[in-house]
């Protein structure tokens, strides 16, 4: 079966270029220019991946609103935002909504293609048993890409789940380098965005245990859980 990718982009030239770059026998693309018809499509079929611009027509946060609507379906569907808006506030807002990536325009079609291939392979791989964990109090449900800290759910994106899984499967105190974290996410995470995801991981734990301080930087090398 083909993967179902939803593309929401109001620039018809960019829309056409992205479709040409991504479409194949393995990928079917539903294309929309505005939020409302894309949102209506959710009621008929949910995508395996959502790619969306943020500004859609007159809606300056149309892509964000679309992603919020998608989250209501309680499915771990990855989201990639494409936007000319590159402030730290906008990037963090995109990740807070659940984006696994936030790509600047003009985008590299080759990079987008690689990220899409990796994400679909990651999220559609055969279901596995819940992962083992060296970390006491942390449980991972690989089947549903969910993590639980002291029996309470952590609010994580798919990317952050994969990064956390790398910590869970590494003996306590061992250094996890940047390359291992990139590999754990199938190359979705770039070196310069790793720290942003680590900050989000820490904050997810702090929402449950405010005193959380287990993920430590190892200067020039990576991170360790201790």
Residue 90 sits in the same domain as residue 169: no
- DSSP class of residue 211 equals T
What is residue 224's predicted lDDT score, i.e. its pLDDT? Answer: 94
pLDDT tens digits along 80-106: 999 999 888 888 888 888 888 889 898
- What is the pLDDT averaged over residues 173-194? 84
Residue 128 placed within a domain: no
Residue 113 sits in the same domain as residue 149: no
- Burial per residue of 22-60, b for 16 or more beta-carbon CB atoms within 10 angstroms, e otherwise: beeeebebbbbbebeebbebbeeeebbbbbbbbbbeebe
Residue 111 sits in the same domain as residue 152: no
Q: How many domains does the chain have?
A: 2
pLDDT tens digits along 115-152: 898 888 776 654 444 456 889 899 888 766 788 999 89
Residue 29 sits in the same domain as residue 74: yes
Q: How far apart are CA 84 and CA 106, in angstroms?
A: 7
Q: What domain range is 108 assigned to?
A: 3-123
Residue 115 sits in the same domain as residue 153: no
Examine residue 111 and say whether the peptide bond preceding it is cis (omega within 30 degrees of 0): no
More confident residue, 16 or 182: 16
Q: Of 98, 123, 148, which one is at a domain's C-terminal end?
A: 123
State the CATH number of the domain containing residue 178: 1.10.10.10
Residue 133 placed within a domain: no
pLDDT tens digits along 13-31: 999 999 999 988 889 999 9
Count of beta carbons in the 10 Å neighbourhood of residue 204? 19
Residue 31 placed within a domain: yes
Residue 157 placed within a domain: yes
> The tokens of 63 are what?
């892509």
Cα dihedral 156, 187, 108, 59 in deg (nearest 10) = -10
What sections of 2-87 are H helices per DSSP?
Answer: 12-22, 35-42, 62-71
What is residue 124's predicted lDDT score, i.e. its pLDDT? Answer: 63
Residue percentage of the chain with pLDDT more than 70: 93
């Amino acid at each position: 079966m083909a993967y179902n990718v939803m593309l929401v982009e109001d620039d018809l030239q960019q829309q056409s270029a992205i479709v040409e770059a991504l479409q194949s026998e393995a990928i079917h693309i539903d294309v929309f220019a505005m939020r409302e018809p894309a949102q209506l499509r959710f009621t008929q079929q949910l995508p395996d991946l959502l790619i969306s611009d943020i500004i859609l027509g007159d809606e300056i946060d149309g892509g964000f609103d679309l992603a919020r609507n998608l989250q209501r379906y309680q499915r771990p569907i990855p989201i990639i935002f494409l936007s000319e808006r590159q402030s730290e506030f906008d990037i963090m807002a995109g990740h807070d909504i659940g984006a696994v990536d936030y790509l600047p325009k003009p985008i590299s079609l080759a990079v987008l293609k690689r990220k899409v291939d990796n994400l679909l392979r990651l999220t559609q791989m055969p279901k596995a048993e819940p992962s083992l964990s060296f970390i006491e109090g942390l449980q991972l449900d690989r089947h549903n890409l969910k993590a639980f800290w002291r029996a309470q759910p952590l609010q994580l994106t798919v990317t952050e789940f994969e990064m956390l899984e790398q910590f869970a499967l590494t003996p306590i105190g061992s250094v996890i380098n940047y390359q291992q974290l990139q590999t754990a996410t199938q190359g979705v995470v770039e070196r310069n965005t790793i720290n942003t995801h680590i900050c989000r991981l820490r904050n997810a734990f702090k929402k449950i245990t405010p005193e959380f301080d287990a993920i430590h930087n190892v200067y020039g090398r990576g991170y360790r859980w201790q």
